[in-house]
Structure 1
Amino acid sequence: MKENICICWLRRDLRLNDHAALYHALKSGIPVLPLFVFDTDILDKLNDRKDSRVSFIYHTLQDMAQQLSLLGSSILIKQGTPEKIWQEVLNNYEVKAVYTNHDYEPYAQERDLQIASILSAKNIPFHTFKDQVIFEKNEVTKDDGTPYTVFTPYFKKWQKKLDDFYIKPYPVEKYTPNLFKTGTLPFPSIEELGFNFGVLEIPPLDFENKLKGYERSRDFPAANTTSHIGIHLRFGTVSIRYAVRKALEKQVEKWLSELVWREFYMMILWHFPRTVNTSFKPAYDRIKWRNNEAEFNAWCMGKTGYPLVDAGMRQLNETGFMHNRVRMVVASFLTKHLLIDWRWGEAYFAAKLLDYEMASNIGGWQWACGCGNDAAPYFRVFNPELQAKKFDPQNVYICSWAPEYKQQKHVQPIVEHAFARERILKVFKEALNPM
């Protein structure tokens, strides 16, 4: 006879501490089996079978399985479509309830509705919890209940609503005896997953040590004082509650505001899902993009003739990371200097960034283009050369990623800044003010 269990379905929450769904599952008193699905609906769309994000997930799950083995438990690892895997799990186990954390992206919502329907047909409760963010959906709104579309008032309301309750950790450790005693379950090999990657070198999670100088030097890419917490928030290897507590303890409001920008964009995506494919400001969808493929490829490869742009793109291509200041510069350059659709750049970042978050990436690209909510105005066109002089005055960052500039080799820019600026102002003006 099968033993009654409940499933804790892990997705973007790959940790065993301060975990909302895991805490509630364990507290239910029914033995808990953690489950992770390598979702082929997502993986089959990846171009690179050495994708470093899959490597990060894989090695993180290995670490979690090792921790669980010390408690006599393990993680059930499966690969396939969620629908197929859940049918299989329900055939093999006597599942009494399923616990998981909310996911706000459009595909995730469709997936969860489908699985909820499968579970409902078998009278299995499907419990979901807030875990990725401090405040979600309609928790921070204007006084009339409508969503904010400008960050500053949102941030003020967010701070006003915050108290210790919202950042208190979930004491998972108290209830770990309720884990399902599985012994060691099979762990699929890399080859079985259809991928081919080695050990991924991710900078250690030491953001606390970087917070001291964050406000002073965060805009200088050579200083390497940004937190690199993005990938850990993306896959939930660190709790957002922990990150916010540290920001408050160390009184680094600028870093706190960056964490809140992430929630702001998630809230925008939740309320305005159309922004996945269309501009928040619909008038910007009338822009006549040039979309020159040769120029786009030059941008992708870091061969534009603008040192800061080239250094940033090569850092991205080589490491899967790009400094945030440089992200703004390269995004502005693509959309405004080259008049290439922001969606092209957003898709390239989606394929390359280790810390890719749909909401933040779309929000950031629309901000840089001018077509998003609370965006930089379209007539604000970053001058990449002035940005380099201001934020990389000694060319340390530039020369580390684009060494030809160190030898002062002449690289012909693919477009002249003053010309590009006049062109973008004309094109945007015509689109936004049609006769």
Structure 2
Amino acid sequence: MSSPRTAPVIVWFRQDLRLADNPALHAAVESGRPVLPVFILDAETPGDWKLGGAARWWLHHSLSALNTRLDQTGNHLVLRAGNSHNVLKELIKETGAAAVYWNRRYESSARQRDSDIKSHLKEQGLDVQSFNATLLVEPWTVKNKSGDPFRVFTPFWRSVRSEVDPGTPLKAPSQIQSLDKWPTSEELDDWNLLPRNPDWAKDFPDVWTPGEDGARQRLTDFLEDDAAHYAGGRDRPDKPWTSRLSPHLAFGEISPRQIVAVAESHRETVGDKNTEKFLSEIGWREFSYNLLYHFPNFPEQNYQDKFDRFPWLNNSDTLLAWQRGQTGYPIVDAGMRQLWQTGWMHNRVRMITASFLIKHLMTDWREGERWFWDTLVDADLANNSASWQWVAGSGADAAPYFRIFNPITQGEKFDPNGEYIRKWVPEIAQLPNKFLNKPWEAGPIVLKDAGIELGQTYPEPIVDHSAARERALDAFKSLKEAA
């Protein structure tokens, strides 16, 4: 049995796969005791929200990158799969660990699990500590003047910006004291997180570099190359003017506190308007976690219960056409194909595709939420549920019911030269811009010259925009009248 001074500290990594600005790891190193970094693949706790396929791909590479970083400090990562509580008990018994540190999570299932583990381990005499590594401000600390959680983004973010000092990010430790005798670790490859046949993620490495180094480089590249266009250009899917930090944030390879600090250091060159707009998107993430914490059923239930009466059609054929990017509306299809091929979709196009599914196809927002959960490398329960409910109109601070994105004019406005559509829907690339967002209006000669046979090489629209819009408005109005 280890003596108190040599008994190791277990650092339980979760959504914090980094060394810098990691409070749990920092506290463990500062304790002066050996540190046992652990990641547990727990398929029980998340319930219905087990990691989707794209997120599993990212996790594999992120864990590999984390282990490389730990190796550089003279330490390494132990991998175990199973029930988190049971695995921790086994590791404590094997190593004589006297402490367990972790950074907090905010999903209902994880909060309950962590509370149970903390109570049990403290009863056993262990030092158990949890920290905030995920958010600028924890949800229970931000209240409105009535003492209630904020339900509207703007006053929430104004309060956070005016009252919260995120502080200076913690530096990564250069050395982490190791154990004399290590417990066994499972092999990452044996977890089968990567797709096999077919390898639908084969193009992901061309787009993404998972890991802490990749996150830091992505932020630097964005601030130096693209952020000066952000406020006016973030809605352009044909331009590289968004940060694409979302998967790095989702896996905790970078913290919001780090992002704020680095963004502020670039404010002079990026400009106040661009900096504030960029930081407000970090604010939306904070707001989404605020909603998830205070309304734990947010991912499964309508925030506004009147939407429980919504007359969804839920047609499996149109849902499949949407998933495959075969709706006949080019901007929608481009987004859905970008998602499938890269594990990510531009935010403006996420809103367009979500609106199309919900309002044009009258499909329950939860169907879209589940598809995005499985196909996004940045799948995040708080962001995903808040965004889908925002588009549906059923959430907090939601879009008004009559806001129905026109997929034709949205494409014309935000992809004015058609570069985005031509990249992801190459079968219609030869169409002139005039018809690119509405191929069905092109005459037979134009279609023939472009090598297109509607219904064969590219689908006819699966719904008529005007008719679908009126149908959706009638459905939403019926909710309003019944209220």
- Normalising by the smaller structure, the TM-score range is over 0.9
Indicate if the aligned counterparts of 1:74 and 1:185 stay in contact, CA closer than 8 A. Answer: no
Which residue of the partner structure matches residue 17 of structure 2?
Answer: 14
Q: Is residue 406 of structure 1 aligned with residue 420 of structure 2?
A: no
Q: Find 1:421's aligned residue among 460, 464, 469.
A: 469
Corresponding position of 1:303: 326
Counterpart among 332, 356, 362 of residue 339 in structure 1: 362
**Aligned-residue offset at 1:31:** 2.0
Counterpart residue number, 1:359: 382
Q: Which residue of 2 aligns with 1:167?
A: 167
Instruction: Report Cα offsets for 1:265-319 as digits up to 9, x if no partner.
Output: 1001101112221111111111010001101001000111100000000110111
Among 260, 264, 267, the alignment partner of 1:244 is: 260
Compared CA separation, residues 190 and 69, structure 1 to 2 (3 A): closer
Is 1:290 the counterpart of 2:305 in the alignment?
A: no
| 2:420 counterpart letter in structure 1 | Y
Question: How large is the Cα RMSD of the aligned pairs?
Answer: 2.3
Report the Cα distance in structure 2 between the residues aligned to 1:281 and 1:293, rounded to whole angstroms: 25
Question: For the residues of structure 2 that align with 1:132 and 1:191, how far apart are their CA atoms?
Answer: 27
CA contact (8 A) 1:378 1:428 kept: yes
Task: Compute the displacement of 1:139 (Å).
Answer: 2.0
Name the counterpart of 2:415. Answer: 392
Alignment counterpart, residue 66 of structure 2, candidates 64, 67, 70: 64
Alignment of 1:30-429 (within 5 A): 30-41=33-44, 51-163=53-165, 166-173=166-173, 176-177=175-176, 179-182=177-180, 188-197=186-195, 201=205, 202-203=208-209, 204=214, 205=218, 206-209=221-224, 210-249=226-265, 250=267, 251=272, 252-408=275-431, 409=452, 410=454, 411-429=459-477
* Pairing partner for 2:27 from 24, 27, 37: 24
TM-score for both structures, normalised by structure 2: 0.84
Q: Which moved more, 1:216-225 or 1:78-87?
A: 78-87
Q: Measured at CA, do residues 14 and 195 of structure 1 come closer, stay the same or move farther in structure 2, by a change above 3 Å?
A: closer
Are residues 182 and 357 of structure 1, via their aligned partners in 2, closer, same or farther at CA, if it must alter by over 3 Å? farther
Q: Deviations over 1:165-186 (max 9, x none)?
A: x231124427x45x23458876
Structure 1 unaligned runs (5+)? none
> CA 1:397/1:184 → structure 2, altered by over 3 Å: closer, same or farther?
farther
- 1:4 aligned partner: 7
Q: Deviations over 1:398-422 (max 9, x none)?
A: 1111112224433311111111111
Q: Deviations for 1:321-356, whole angstroms, at most 9, x for unmatched residues? A: 000000000000000001000000001000111001
User: Amino acid of the residue matched to residue 222 of structure 1?
Assistant: D
Hey, what's the Cα distance between the residues in 2 that align with 1:307 and 1:293? 20
Instruction: Check whether the contact 1:316–1:322 (CA below 8 A) recurs between aligned residues.
Output: yes
Partner AA of 1:167 in structure 2: G
Structure 1, 305-314 or 184-193: larger mean CA deviation = 184-193
Q: CA deviation at 1:77?
A: 1.3
Distance 1:47 1:37 in 2: 13
Q: Which amino acid aligns with 1:159?
A: R
1:291–1:341 CA contact under 8 A, matched in 2: yes
Identity of aligned residues (%): 37
Write the distance in 2 (CA, Å) between the matches of 1:46 and 1:241.
27
How many angstroms apart in 2 are the aligned matches of 1:151 and 1:44? Answer: 29
Partner secondary structure for residue 44 of structure 2: helix
Q: Which residue of 1 aligns with 2:446?
A: none
Tell me which amino acid in the other structure corresponds to 2:376: L
Q: Which moves more between the two structures, 302-311 or 64-73? A: 64-73
Q: Which amino acid is the alignment partner of residue 41 of structure 2?
A: F
1: CA distance between counterparts of 2:372 and 2:54?
14
Equivalent residues, number:
430
What one-letter code is carried by the residue in structure 2 that aligns with 1:344?
A: E
Q: Secondary structure at the match of 2:238?
A: helix
Q: CA deviation at 1:28?
A: 2.1
Change (3 A) 1:367 1:47: closer
Contact 2:91–2:183, Cα closer than 8 Å, also in 1 = no
- Deviations 1:181-215, CA, capped at 9 Å, x for gaps: 45887654344213445885115523323222212
Contact 2:20 2:170 (C-alpha < 8 Å) held by counterparts: yes
Pairwise CA distance, 1:32: 1.7
SS of structure 2 residue aligned to 1:270:
helix
- Which residue identity lines up with residue 274 of structure 1 in the other structure? N
2: distance between equivalents of 1:182 and 1:208? 43
Measured after TM superposition, the shift of residue 58 of structure 1 is 2.5
Query: Take 1:416 and 1:167, find their aligned partners in 2: how far apart are those partners?
Result: 52
Letter in 2 for 1:68: L
The separation in 2 between residues aligned to 1:214 and 1:106, in whole angstroms, is 34
Q: Secondary structure at the match of 1:59?
A: helix
SS of the equivalent of 2:38 reads: strand
- CA–CA separation in structure 1 for the residues paired with 2:260 and 2:51: 34
Q: Name the stretch that deviates more: 342-351 or 183-192.
A: 183-192
Please say if residues 155 and 260 of structure 1, whose CA atoms lie closer than 8 Å, have aligned partners that are also in contact: yes
> Quick one: distance in 1 between partners of 2:414 and 2:181?
53
Report the residue type matching 2:303 in the other structure. Answer: F
